[in-house]
Structure formats: C-alpha cells, structure tokens
Chains A and B, each alone.
Chain A
Amino acid sequence: MFVKQIVHLLKHELLIEMKQKHFISSIVLYIVSTIFVCSLSFTTIAETSIWNGLFWIIILFSLTNAISKSFLNENSDKQIFLYTLINPRALILGKIIYNLLLSIALVLISFFVFNFFIQTEGLDNMNYGLYLIAVVLGSTSISSTLTMVSAIASKTNNNIGILSILAFPILIPSLLLSIQFSNLAILGGTVEMSAQFIVFLSLINLLIVILSFLLFPYLWRE
C-alpha cells in the first residue's frame, strides 16, 4: 500500500511535469545561462580544484531553484484533495525520490554543458566512474535536504529566500565533502582511496531521509 502510494505519487508528479514543460525548460535555461556567464568571465580555468568548486556552486544554486517549487502548488484544491488520501510519509518519500531523479538529470545536463563551455587542463587522470559516484551522492544529499527544508519554507511567505537561509548552513558540510571527494576523483583516485567519503556521504543521506520521514508528518498535520 505504502509503496503503491509512492509510485502513484511519482507518476502524478511526472504527469504534472509533462503538462507544464515550461518549468523544466526554465531550469535548464537557468543552468545554461549561468554557465555561459561563467564561461564569459573565465573561458579556461587552470586550477582543477577551482573548476570543480565552481561546478558545485552552480549545482547548488540551480538545485535550490528547481526544488524550491516542490511544495508551492500544495495549496490548490486539487492538490489538497490528493494529499488527504495519501500518507504524509509516503508523500515526503515520493517527493524526495522525484527530486532526486530530477536533480540527477539536471546535474548530468549541467556537467556536460559546463564541460563544453569551460575548459580546464588536468582532466587526463580523471576517474569518471568515481566522479559520477561523487556527483550522485552529493546531489542526493543536496536534493533531499532541500526537499525537506522547502517543506518547512513553504509555510512562510518568502519561500525561496527562507529556503536558502535555512538550507545553506546545513548543506555546507556535505558540499565540502562532495567537493573534496570529486577533487580526488579528478586527480585519479580509486574507490578504495575514497572509501571514507562514500561512507560518510551515504550515512548523511540516509540520516536526512530518516529525519525527513520522521519529522514530515508534523509539518503536514495542520
């Protein structure tokens, strides 16, 4: 029953997304234009660590933009009708999974665009598989934190401003972990070398999901 609800919710979200194509295209446009502005000011970045840091900052801001909207529509009548039928725990898990898929897609798009517009030397040793793991784990923790915090922020008037104030301090540490992890991948590290990053990031992700799962019903029960 619980899993069924989540699957149903995912389908529903996807359907809405398909109907409102302008939303996803506006986020992609946001990413492309941000990267383009960066490329106008840098074109080449000699230092790979700066290149990597810039990439993560762009990811952080574009995901904040994308996920801030996840609880915006909840006040419309149709949504309220839907949500009364659904377990709040299924709802938050569904939202987290949906936002995770969305953010992985967005991150992959932005990685290609970023690589296309901004060149750097020293990517010869890069371990692409490990970099992918870093990106997936990092964006998981960013998107799941943002999902939970956007549920909190949606109760206030100033949604996106409050969202970034509330979420960024919580996000700084996992962002630091992801940046160090992906730097290691760029330098050609192996899975064994980065075992502690993988363990820490997965633990943090698990913790965020558990906390959201436990706390979300309190936000919902109005």
Chain B
Amino acid sequence: MNSIKKHWWKALAVVLLLYTFAFSFLVPLSSTIKSASPSSLEVGKNAVVLIGYNTEFEADENISISLEYDHKTLVCGTEIKQINANQISVNFNIPDSLPSKILHLRMSTSNFSSFSPELIKAFGITENQDTSNLCIVNAYNSSADILDIPNRLQLNETIRNLMFHVPMWFTMMVILFISFFYSIKYLNTFDIKYDIIAREAVNIGLLFAALGLITGSIWAKFTWSEHTDLFTTKGWWVNDVKLNGAAITTLIYVAYRILRNSLQEEHQKAKISAVYNIFAFVLMIVFLMILPRITDSLHPGNGGNPAFGKYDLDSTLRMVFYPAVIGWILLGIWMLSLKKRFFNLENKLEND
C-alpha cells in the first residue's frame, strides 16, 4: 500500500508514455491529396493526375472531384479514372469566366473527403459572377468516424513528432522551474541538499534542451527547408524566435555550469550559483514571453507563418498531446529524483 502511494506517479508516467507511443505509431495519417500534375490549368479541357496519400482509389465507385471556392462548386471533374490505389486521373473543363480565380480541390470518396486549398491554379480566366454554367456535384457521405492523424501540407508523417519534440521543451521548462524553486529554498535555509537538487535539475534540464535542439533541428530541416518564400532555409538552423529562445536558455545554463566549476568552496559555490540561477531564470521567462510578441515565427500560433498559420491542434491530436506532455514531464522528474537520491546517499557515505 505504501509503495503505491509513493510510486503511483511513476506508473502514471509509464502508462501515459505507452499511450503516447502506441497512439503515435499505430494511428494512420488521414487520406489526402498530396499533389496534382499539372498543377496549373488553362481554359479548356485539362487532364489532371491526382496523387493521393494513404488512399484506396481502386474499385471505389463513389468518387467525386470538383474545384470550388468559398463552398461554391465551380467546376466538376469528369471522366474520373482510377489508375491505382494512390493515383487517379480526372478531366476539368475550365470555362473562360468564373466567379473567382482561386480554386480549391474537393474530393469525396467512400472512405474520406478531402479539401486541398491552393493545390491547383488556373490561368487565363476572367472573374465573372455569372454562375449559370456551373455543375452540381453530388457529394457522397463518407464515414468520418475513422480515428486518424491530420495530414498537413509539408508536415505529412512528421506531425507525429509533436508527441516527442515539443514535450522536450515543456519538460525542460518544468525541470528548470524546479531548479529555480530549490535555489530560492537554498537561499532561505542554506541547506546543501537543496543546492544538490537545483544543480541536478539544471543538468537534467540541459539534457532535455539538447534533445529538444537536436530533434527540432532534424524536424525543421526536412519540413521548413523546402517551403515558403518568406523563410528559405537550407541548413540545420533556422533563425526563428523559438529557436533563439531555446539557444539563449541553453547558453544561460551552460554558463551556470561554468560558474559552478570556477568556484571552489562548497557553500560559496552553492550560494553564488543560486543567486545567478534566480536572476537568470526570472529574466529568461520575461524574455521568452516578450520576444514572440515583437517578432514573427515559423512555429504554429505565431505571426508571419504562411504554411502553418491555419494550423492548430485538432481534437484528435489534443487527445494525445496533453497526456504526452504530462508523461514526459513525469519522466523528467523521475530522472531528477534518481539523481537526487544518488547524491544524498553519496553525502551520507562521505559523512560517515
């Protein structure tokens, strides 16, 4: 009974992380249209091949494809022909005048319905409100109850990294807050065991910072490097607010380690590094809050982000993202408590 009281949160960490792993590896990505060739249409008849991802076009009778704008169907696809599971050919007959030049591709099959904005562009048409020659599409009811992860432009499968890369930063911040808290506690009591926790929390925090930096760098390289006119990046480092904030945090705590190493006497070491820890942590939090307000970011939820501007967590992702964050944070605290117990034991043995 006692051991359950003491260790329940570790079990919770394991359960939450198992759930995270199972969800992020087992749940498929939603079916969607990846690309169209040719992607630019002209007035007249256009034969287009659409390439899907995770689709099952073969032997599907109920496929309808149309180009639309603002929920109004502009052009219906005709002569729909399945090539294989992921490819389908369709004809668009573009009239010389349409209500809008912007075309969004809508597709519905018996398995899914997808809506891809800005996949296809049309040239040579004039804008005209006359809608007499438009077709009427009969949309099929697709079963929308399938559990899947949204498939977003450029992200594709890498959206699963949301459960691994992002919680690293959450964990780091929580662990660093613990360090800050115990530094204050040390200055109030001058008890060396609080300093041990503060020091080891910084070490664990730096480990998570390193993991966050490396995973973020890998993820950014293969998603942001190919898109956007605003930020063109070819390298492993993107000049982005969140990244700069992370780099500043890492620099501050590496400096903390160096400060500790350059002091000799144990209590002086503890006291001075605690002062620096408090000073730096408070300023860092303020800066991390202010900086995104004055600059743009590629990350979701910040300004100036064309590809992910519409991106927000949908309910499916939220269902696993929050448990993932809590699970990783508990794992970090577990790692910290092991270190703490180790150093307490070492202190005890030395004093004997």
Contact = CB atoms under 8 A, between A and B. Distances in A.
Interface of A: 145, 148-149, 152, 155-158, 162, 165-166, 168-170, 172-174, 176-177, 180, 196-197, 200, 203-204, 207-208, 211-212, 215, 218-219, 222
Given A162-B262, A165-B258, A219 B275 contact: yes
Contact of A219 (B244, B263, B272, B283): B272
Given A156-B262, A156-B263, A211-B278, A177 B252 contact: no
Contacts, number: 80
A152 B286 contact: no
A162, A173, A215, A218 — most chain B CB neighbours (10 Å): A173
B187 A218 contact: yes
Contacts of B251: 168-169
A83 to B, nearest CB: 17
B282 interface: yes
A173 B293 CA distance: 12
**Which 3 pairs between the two chains have the least Cβ-Cβ distance?**
A173-B287, A169-B251, A156-B262
Contacts of A196: 293-294
A166 B282 CA distance: 14
A138 to B, nearest CB: 14
Contact of B252 (A152, A162, A169): A169
17 contacts: A148-B279, A149-B276, A152-B279, A155-B263, A156-B259, A158-B262, A166-B259, A173-B248, A173-B283, A177-B294, A180-B294, A200-B290, A200-B294, A204-B286, A207-B286, A208-B283, A219-B271
Given A170-B280, A177-B290, A215 B259 contact: no
**Chain B interface, >50% SS class:** helix
A127 to B, nearest CB: 19
Given A148-B279, A204-B283, A215-B278, A173 B290 contact: yes
Contacts of A165: 255, 258-259
Interface string B92-126: 00000000000000000000000000000000000
Contacts of B271: 218-219
B283 A211 contact: yes
B268 interface: yes
Contacts of A218: 187, 271, 274-275
A181 to B, nearest CB: 9
Instruction: Tell me if A's interface is mostly helix, strand, loop or mixed.
Output: helix
Contacts of B293: 196
B85 interface: no
B319 interface: no
Contacts of A162: 258-259, 262
B291 A166 contact: no
Given A170-B284, A219-B275, 15 more contacts: A152-B276, A155-B268, A169-B252, A172-B244, A172-B248, A173-B248, A177-B290, A180-B294, A196-B293, A203-B286, A211-B279, A211-B282, A211-B283, A218-B275, A219-B272
A56 B162 CA distance: 38
A212 B287 CA distance: 17
A152 B294 CA distance: 31
Nearest to A221: B271
Contact of B291 (A145, A155, A173, A207): A173
